[in-house]
Structure 1
Amino acid sequence: MRALIVEDEARVARRIERMTRELLTNRLKSLTHVGTLNEAKKLISDHSWDLVLLDLNLNGDNGFDLLTTVVSESFHTIIISAYKDQAITAFEYGVLDFVHKPFNRDRLSQAFSRLTAKEKTETNAVKYLAVKKRHRIQLISIEDIRYIKGAGTYSELLLMDGTKELHDKSLEKLEQLLSYSFERIHKSYLVKMSEMKGISVSSGSKYRAVLKNEELIPIGRTRYKDLKERWV
């Protein structure tokens, strides 16, 4: 795992770095620290990351100026900030967790555990997914997404109006962020449960989700039983 710490207070940065090395141990391939928004933007643009730990106040610069960019990337973002009142907005933009300063080792460990957690959580009330467009970032409302299809290391967002948008995060990472409202019904599909109206079963034990727009999405055999119980 390649991690980037964006924190302007050297003492706090050293504490985050020490705890990160202790908690991630052999999972950590590299750990880099920068103290300014401009340094962070350059490193994020020029290198590949798996995790960014971001403060929201960087020598007077607003970390939210970077937030829409980082949440559109393939990696997860964890906010570490004293500005607790900004937690809801950060979650709405698609961060994995918000760690309030002052924090302890257990709280940071809890945040790191979400990197691989599979259980559903109500905490991540994501309202937008940020996608890269030419020379800008576009925020796509979760309300406008019908389902999401895996496309290798990327994901396709299938929108209510029939259009598609490409997101840099994998289906697995989006599942972690959206598990409160989307269901992984197949290895290649995340479906918004409010858009699903039933299940179709055809010969050969082929299962498909029937969406409100009558579109049919395949259901994996291992996931059929759980879904069926919801529609009995």
Structure 2
Amino acid sequence: MTSLPARALIAEDEVLLATALSASLQRLWPELEIVGFAANGIEAVEHALATQPDVVFLDIKMPGKSGLEAARELAEEWPEQRPFPLLVFVTAYDDYAVQAFEHAAIDYVLKPANDERLAKTVERLQARLDRSGKSGNPGSELERVLQQLRGIAPTLAPAPAAQERLRMIRAAVGNQIKLIPIEEVIYFEATDKYVNVVTADSESLIRTSLKELIPQLDPDVFWQIHRGTIVRIAQVQSAQRDEAGKLSLRLRSRPETLAVSRLFTHLFKQM
């Protein structure tokens, strides 16, 4: 019984570069089926979840979501019963990015794609697809990617100076400005265009993003547990898994529970 040809998705916002990469792949890997193209990070996630390819080429800098953001969202949303695709990041030359990918053992190609370098990537992809097919474990690649993404995922980074830490949240309530001391915040939760600031007895929307908030928060006090949630760790009472293995947190001063995504479950192994 012959195996089905490998399938790939290309996520690249520059049409000429996407076309050139596709042409190079057709020369180097004629059996590879290109299932589609995505012009931005949001489309990349949608197309990958819909087509479930074996390989995804992700441009690092795309509109909507970066390649790393798209990779993290895919890792969180991917169905557990399906093999996770092999990820290849496509990037313009950048010392820091290249070092990060090499440190995390994530494959990457520099653009415009060079056939000699791309051929090595193709060889590695073919070997890994062959190994994963023989292992019969659909979760093995997902766990490997999760470990790698944790190594280069943005964390709650130290602010340049202590006085730059956020001490007061300014939230608009009608025509007034509500001041919320940072000590009262239990968690931050991203909504469509806002962040919900949750205290023990109130919720307030601020027009910002978690990405903007993260550098202003003390990483010893606030932990990111999901791409859309940051929690005050002292407010976590317990961590529990449901029958499907999904982790959630119970809080000390709020009745709701908070979901922990796959990317951050390792933070609670000791709980």
Fold agreement, TM-score > 0.5 = no
User: Which is strand-richer, 1 or 2?
Assistant: 1
Please tell me the TM-score bracket, short chain as reference.
0.3 to 0.5
TM value normalised by structure 2: 0.39
Larger Rg: 2
User: Which is helix-richer, 1 or 2?
Assistant: 2
